[in-house]
Structure 1
Amino acid sequence: MGDILVGACSWTDRELLSSGWYPEGHRGAEARLRYYTTRFPLVEVDSTYYGLPSERNSALWAERSPAGFRFDVKAFSLLTGHPTRAGALPADLRSASAGPRGRTEADPELLDEVWRRFAGALEPLRRAERLGTVLFQFPPWLAPGASATAMLRRCRERTEGWPVAVEFRHPDWWRPDRYASTFGLLAELDLTAVAVDMAQSLPTSIPPVTPVPSARLAVVRFHGRSRAWGTGSKEDRFRHRYSPEELAPWTSAVREMADRAREVHVLFNNCCGDAAVRAAETMNRLLGTPSGAAREEDSTDSAFLF
């Protein structure tokens, strides 16, 4: 059975910082991360979706985390086809990128440079064997079809050798009549499929399927079960506290995924107050998995390399 790692989708979320979860004396950037790694072996970096990461920050994250800890890094919005403000780019790229209403035009040369900088910024995590995967969360309008398939192939060409996880937000990808073709495409490209837990009462709800097309990694992201998904404020969308009764049915599914992958990442994205870290603590108890980063591992087998 593969390793099961549980964590939250942020350790710096403002609502988490004000929740009291971090004890006194652990409020600075370094102290927060070091404390977090004593509680969980995994975290998702979501700030990299909103702005390009920096090599300096990656080096600091690697330095402040123990061996065996994993950072799953969310891909920058421009790389996943989302609207991106010119202000989200480094200053030297903004003047050449401005389009209508301040949105970034996806100029090929600009994309080349953004891809280059994004990859370079992650290099310290890769060298330190802290990089778990790069998460490409595609927009809800990316429906299955020839153009979407071509986009996935181009993305894989850009990320050859990277550990990459794909989360679809259009529900048709995992409908019963398309499941096999979606699974086959991801398996061909050696892309990890992200399983999703969310409210199932919405037209945009992603089915709670657990595909494992890549033997090296499987990922589950828990978004909460708010009916306000896709509407309202961030707090409205993610305001949900998982109960043990809601999480318990997932334990067998996660263990089955671990039978098919060398590592399974279980991440809680209900980042409202301390709800995500509390749910992760509950899941650790239900699974009986280690609460911190220290665990025995064969670094040549479990480390993902570019």
Structure 2
Amino acid sequence: MAILVGTASWAEKSLIDSGLFYPPDAKTPEARLRFYSSVFPLVEADSSYYAIPSPATAQAWVERTPPAFVMNVKAFRFLTGHATDPAVLPRAVRELAGAGGRLVYRHAASEVREAIWHHFLLALEPLRAAGKLGLVHFQFPPSVVPSPRVIAHVEDCVERLRGATVSIEFRHRAWWDGGQRSAETITWLRALGVVHTVVDGPQGAENSVPAVWEATHPEIALVRLHGRNAAAYNAPAKTAGERFDYDYPDHELEAIAKQVHRLSFSARNTHVVFNNCDRDKGQRNGMTMMRVLAELQKQPIDFEAYQAPNGMLARLQPEERAAAQEQLPDATAAGPQQLAVEVQTRHYGRVEVTFRVHTDKRHKARRSFWSACLARPI
């Protein structure tokens, strides 16, 4: 179980211009990525949203980062339904598209769609081959609301990326409008085998979504932090940094870290990505988050606080729980009060299930029994 913290992009102009994160001698793209990856174990490649990187560029990312480094890649904007200027397309695709205005996925010719998918998948290949590809992140625009057409498109995207791990981020509150709608969305994402994105961001607008602290994939949970600058979120902005200009104070980071720590018991790995990309705010907040999480992970688990299902325990099959419980000795008030055993599960592989002894005081004999209280992947 690992929690990886990073930022969305390592080459934001305001970050480089600020001189607050990179040392003075990190003057080239190679030097900056090498320095970044010496500080953080994870990054989200955000430039891939604006233009599909070449395989050579992706190979350079591989060569400039440590062996265990993880890179999430943001899906190209055309694939998520954003209007796209043909000028940013690879030359061969641009020639195929011909003259015309901005391209939108649902209206584009099938041969243009297929060509764009081809180039995007080629760009992922160097990272995948090196074992450094984390998530392929699809951030859909606020115009994307629940509908049969949208659902079919999302499912098609997931099918095309079979073999990669896809994360989904919706930016319209219709996906999370009340408990029933939220449950339907989470159930669908879980059935698709994709990673739900827990979003921390400004509230109060149509494109504001609540933080739904759920994991839908056994391998990875994802948290993306956009800052909480409600005034700037939908205001005209020249850069992403202006829109996401927010510096999380320590008390907010500490509260979020506790939620991240709890979520981490629901998946083998948890990714935390700071998208408050003005100057060095994301990097500073990310480093603080890593320190807070390191302290939390040193502390013994407060099982009373974790008594509510963390997502995984609730989804173990009855026979899997029974197989774990068969490994335990008889429960007695005088014996061990807490034990953890391993069991093989269908969806999560090897899982450690923690049991605690409970005593029913309503019976004269004070009957004791084992009760499962937590499950986490190994």
**TM-score (ref. length: structure 1):** 0.91
- 2:190 aligns with 187
Supply the distance in 2 between the matched residues of 1:79 and 1:203 (Cα, whole angstroms). Answer: 22
Supply the distance in 2 between the matched residues of 1:222 and 1:282 (Cα, whole angstroms). Answer: 14
- Check whether the contact 2:244–2:275 (CA below 8 A) recurs between aligned residues: yes
State the Cα RMSD in Å.
1.5
Output aligned runs, 1:38-77, within 5 Å.
Answer: 38-77=38-77
**TM-score (ref. length: structure 2):** 0.74
Identity, in percent, stands at 40
Amino acid paired to 2:92: D
The answer as to 2:272 corresponding to 1:269 is no
Supply the distance in 1 between the matched residues of 2:242 and 2:30 (Cα, whole angstroms). Answer: 30
The answer as to 2:115 corresponding to 1:97 is no
- 1:154 aligns with 156
- 2:236 aligns with 232
Supply the distance in 1 between the matched residues of 2:204 and 2:9 (Cα, whole angstroms). Answer: 26
- 2:5 aligns with 6
- 1:36 aligns with 36
Question: How many pairs does the alignment contain?
Answer: 289
Give the CA deviation at 1:230: 2.5
Supply the distance in 2 between the matched residues of 1:31 and 1:8 (Cα, whole angstroms). Answer: 17
Task: Name the structure where strand makes up a greater proportion of residues.
Answer: 2
Give the CA deviation at 1:127: 1.0
SS in 1 for 2:266: coil
Give the CA deviation at 1:31: 1.0
- Check whether the contact 1:78–1:106 (CA below 8 A) recurs between aligned residues: no
- Check whether the contact 1:226–1:236 (CA below 8 A) recurs between aligned residues: no
Farther off after superposition, 200-209 or 179-188:
200-209
- Check whether the contact 2:41–2:68 (CA below 8 A) recurs between aligned residues: yes
SS in 2 for 1:267: strand
Output aligned runs, 1:140-219, within 5 Å.
Answer: 140-175=142-177, 176-219=179-222
* Runs of at least 4 residues off by over 6 Å: none
Instruction: Kindly name which structure, 1 or 2, has the bigger radius of gyration based on alpha carbons.
Output: 2
Supply the distance in 2 between the matched residues of 1:24 and 1:98 (Cα, whole angstroms). Answer: 44
Give the CA deviation at 1:101: 3.2
Give the CA deviation at 1:116: 1.2
Give the CA deviation at 1:226: 1.2
Supply the distance in 2 between the matched residues of 1:9 and 1:153 (Cα, whole angstroms). Answer: 25
- 2:327 aligns with none
In the TM superposition, what whole-angstrom CA distance separates every residue of 1:42-61 from its partner, at most 9, and x where no partner exists?
Answer: 00101001111111011111
Among 122, 125, 131, which residue is 1:123 paired with?
125
Amino acid paired to 2:76: F
Give the CA deviation at 1:134: 0.4
The answer as to 2:134 corresponding to 1:132 is yes
In the TM superposition, what whole-angstrom CA distance separates every residue of 1:205-254 from its partner, at most 9, and x where no partner exists?
Answer: 11011221111111111101111212221343111111111111111211
Supply the distance in 2 between the matched residues of 1:69 and 1:41 (Cα, whole angstroms). Answer: 5
Give the CA deviation at 1:100: 4.8
Output aligned runs, 1:272-287, within 5 Å.
Answer: 272-287=278-293
Amino acid paired to 1:217: I
Give the CA deviation at 1:103: 3.6
Farther off after superposition, 3-12 or 252-261:
252-261
Among 111, 114, 119, which residue is 1:112 paired with?
114
SS in 1 for 2:14: helix
Question: What are structure 1's unaligned runs of at least 5 residues?
Answer: 290-300, 302-306
Supply the distance in 2 between the matched residues of 1:216 and 1:9 (Cα, whole angstroms). Answer: 21
SS in 2 for 1:177: helix
The answer as to 2:209 corresponding to 1:223 is no
Question: What are structure 2's unaligned runs of at least 5 residues?
Answer: 296-348, 350-378
- Check whether the contact 1:247–1:283 (CA below 8 A) recurs between aligned residues: yes
Supply the distance in 1 between the matched residues of 2:210 and 2:102 (Cα, whole angstroms). Answer: 35
